[in-house]
């Protein structure tokens, strides 16, 4: 089996603590036509460059019946700014209206096969994967993107169609796994690891 979830596969369930004090799982999105799961974090410059777009995406699509949840699975020994306490601060600073949850065990990241931050997974109403990869072609530099794969995929599903593009390579930092050589490096080197 491939490391990352394949198109057509069901969304693995989870039960993860959110910065809002609630524990979130798939059933919390049962009424949503489409569910976007994004593996995110606090420090990666590709995530930081995407956060305002994530907020805009959610504001645009939540009224259309689209759910979204951001999951931070990064280990915190070498990346302390990804701790749950720092997540609470980040969510407050950025005004996240979507759930932001902590995957301390990294089991959810493994189940999904999360490769990078940010890495987006789009599921249809049956919670089968219909798109995975990047939000657009320039997550690090707001306003410089020339594609909109995430929006295109969600628009297609809302219109009852399959996304024209189902798979792209996520652009960002590697998920920081426990027990791996995840030495700290400056953000500009983030995309090299």
Provide the phi-psi class of 21: left if phi over 0, else alpha when psi is between -120 and 50, else beta: left
For the chain, the domain total comes to 1
Whether residue 69 is contained in a domain is answered as yes
Run of H or E including 66: strand 66-72
- Domain enclosing residue 122, as ranges: 31-192
Whether residue 131 is contained in a domain is answered as yes
The answer to whether the Cα torsion of 35, 120, 73, 188 is positive or negative is negative
Whether residue 3 is contained in a domain is answered as no
pTM over 0.75: yes
Asked whether 39 and 114 are in contact (CB, 8 A), the reply is yes
134-169 confidence digits (pLDDT tens): 999 999 999 999 999 999 999 999 999 999 999 999
pLDDT at 69 over 60: yes
Please give the mean pLDDT across all residues of the chain: 93
Whether residue 13 is contained in a domain is answered as no
**pLDDT score recorded for residue 192:** 41
CATH number of residue 77's parent domain: 3.40.30.10
- Paired with 16 in beta bridges are 24
Q: Which two tokens stand for residue 22?
A: 């609630």
């Amino acid at each position: 089996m491939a490391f990352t979830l394949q198109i057509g596969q069901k969304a693995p369930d989870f039960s993860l603590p959110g910065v809002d004090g609630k524990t979130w799982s798939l059933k919390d999105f049962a009424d949503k036509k489409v569910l976007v799961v994004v593996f995110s974090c606090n420090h990666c410059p590709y995530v930081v460059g995407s956060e305002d777009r994530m907020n805009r995406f959610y504001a645009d699509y939540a009224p259309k019946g689209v759910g979204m949840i951001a999951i931070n699975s990064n280990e915190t020994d070498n990346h302390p700014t990804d701790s749950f306490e720092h997540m609470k601060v980040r969510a407050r600073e950025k005004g996240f209206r979507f759930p932001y949850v902590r995957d301390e065990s990294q089991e959810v990241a493994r189940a999904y096969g999360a490769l990078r931050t940010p890495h987006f997974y789009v599921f249809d109403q049956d919670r089968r994967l219909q798109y995975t990869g990047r939000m657009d072609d320039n997550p690090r530099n707001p306003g410089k993107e020339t594609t909109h794969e995430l929006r295109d995929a969600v628009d297609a599903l809302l219109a009852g169609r399959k996304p024209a593009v189902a798979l792209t390579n996520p652009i960002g930092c590697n998920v920081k796994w426990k027990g791996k050589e995840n030495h700290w490096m400056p953000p500009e080197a983030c995309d090299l690891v």
